Amino acid sequence: MKIYLDNAATTPLDAEVMKVMYSAMESTYGNPSSIHAHGREARSLIERARKTIANLLHASPAEIFFTSSGTEADNMAIRCGIVDNGITHAITTHIEHHAVVHTLEAMEKAGTIKLSFLDVDSKGNIDFDQLEQLLQDNPRTFVSLMHANNEIGTLTDIERLGDLCEHYNAIFHCDTVQTMGHFPHDLGKLKVHFLVSAAHKYHGPKGVGFLHISHKIKIKPLIYGGAQERNMRGGTENVYGIVGMAKALELAYADMEQHRAYIQGLKDYLKEQLIENIPGVEFNGETGEDKSLYTVLNVSFPETDMADMLLFNLDIAGISASGGSACSSGTDIGSHVLTGIGASSTRPSVRFSFSKYNTKEELDFVVNKVRGLFMVNA
């Protein structure tokens, strides 16, 4: 039995997405920058996809720019948003995705910015009072904070963030890679300058994403070399990936509430079964429905001699998940997120992340296997 519970890393491609991608591959092979009929046909697919995504997000098609990934989109927003707007101060947390933290740290090391890190509590919640104080005490600031943490699932109130950034004239960049396709985003109301997505997190293809750039902000390209994406991103567009991404997001929005209720049920069920079957089990991050990403459950298991082998043993049992533990020293390679929230470095943690394709029967199998591992090593 093979069970896939690593959907926060990537999701299976939806059959309907594969179908539209295959159709495009079969019939549309022109370069979208070419002016002949074959090129115009490819260009038409791209622009239809852009309009689809923009309509779902209540944005203008002119604000949607296609990229190769969420990581590229984060880099474009951060590097160009800071440099092209003369920003000298940035704010983030130690538990952001490395695409954000490493980029900002590199810019600080180069002397481009002063970087401030917000405190987070043991559940991964930011300190809004500290954020406001930093915004008050510094020149115009670039704020980079994610909507939901990719490891522990804790949600941040991005509406409140947007209002606060607007009040202090700060530039707000939000990594929504984990929540796009799982929560609605109304960019007609949300006060955000940059918003990021990666298609493979919501049953779309890998290797394609997009960056929403508000009409209120101006930047220059990160990648030069061509006039693609209205002179904002050089390189021939990934036509098939873009088509698949638009279809995946369309499907996600069409069935969002149904899938949310179903997947939340799976998460709650696994949590209950683990509490019942594994004495001493705990959970990292927020787990309440209104404060947590419903696709992620980060489980902290009791201390055990087999901590380093837990994921390996799950894999041997046919269960795909991810995880680790907090770093116990500066030289350890562990989870920077778990370290950032002060999690124990001696307790193994596993991130189980769900999709519409998972079942309760699969979760029963997982609980039985985990219980067996801890009974053997008790």
Lowest mean pLDDT among 5-19, 32-46, 305-319, 340-354: 305-319
Flag whether pLDDT at 330 surpasses 70. Answer: no
- Alpha carbon distance 155, 179 (integer Å): 9
- Alpha carbon distance 17, 246 (integer Å): 9
- pLDDT at site 35: 96
State the average pLDDT over residues 165-191: 98
State the average pLDDT over residues 350-357: 98
**Residue 144 is inside which H or E element, if any?**
strand 141-144
State the average pLDDT over residues 187-211: 98
Given its phi and psi angles, is residue 133 left (phi above 0), alpha (psi -120 to 50 degrees) or beta?
Answer: alpha
327 in active site = yes
> Alpha helices of 138-255 — where are they, by DSSP H?
158-167, 228-231, 239-254
The CATH number of 3-11+255-376 is 3.90.1150.10
Is the model more confident about 334 or about 196? 196
- What is the three-class DSSP state of 365? helix
Flag whether pLDDT at 332 surpasses 70. Answer: no
If pLDDT is split at 50, 70 and 90, which confidence band does 304 have? Answer: confident
Residue closest to 32 by CA, chosen among 227, 207, 237: 237
- pLDDT at site 152: 98
> Sign of dihedral through CA atoms 239, 97, 75, 138?
positive
Is the model more confident about 328 or about 238? 238
State the average pLDDT over residues 218-237: 97
The CATH number of 15-254 is 3.40.640.10
- pLDDT at site 334: 81
For the chain, the maximum distance between any two Cα atoms, rounded to a whole number of angstroms, is 70
- Which position among 80, 165, 174, 327 bears the catalytic label? 327
Question: Please, which contacts does 97-105 make with residues 24 or more away whose CB atoms are closer than 8 Å?
Answer: 97/146, 97/150, 97/175, 97/177, 98/336, 99/70, 99/71, 99/74, 99/75, 99/175, 100/74, 100/144, 100/146, 100/175, 101/336, 103/74, 103/75, 103/78, 103/79, 104/78, 104/144
User: Residue 295 CB: number of other CB atoms within 10 A?
Assistant: 28
Residue-wise pLDDT for 44-89, tens only, equals 999 999 999 999 999 999 999 999 999 999 999 999 999 999 999 9
Looking at the chain, the domain(s) classified CATH 3.40.640.10 span 15-254
Lowest mean pLDDT among 64-68, 111-115, 203-207, 347-351: 347-351
Looking at the chain, the domain(s) classified CATH 3.90.1150.10 span 3-11+255-376
Flag whether pLDDT at 307 surpasses 80. Answer: no
Residue closest to 284 by CA, chosen among 177, 151, 374, 155: 151
Supply the pTM of this predicted model.
0.96
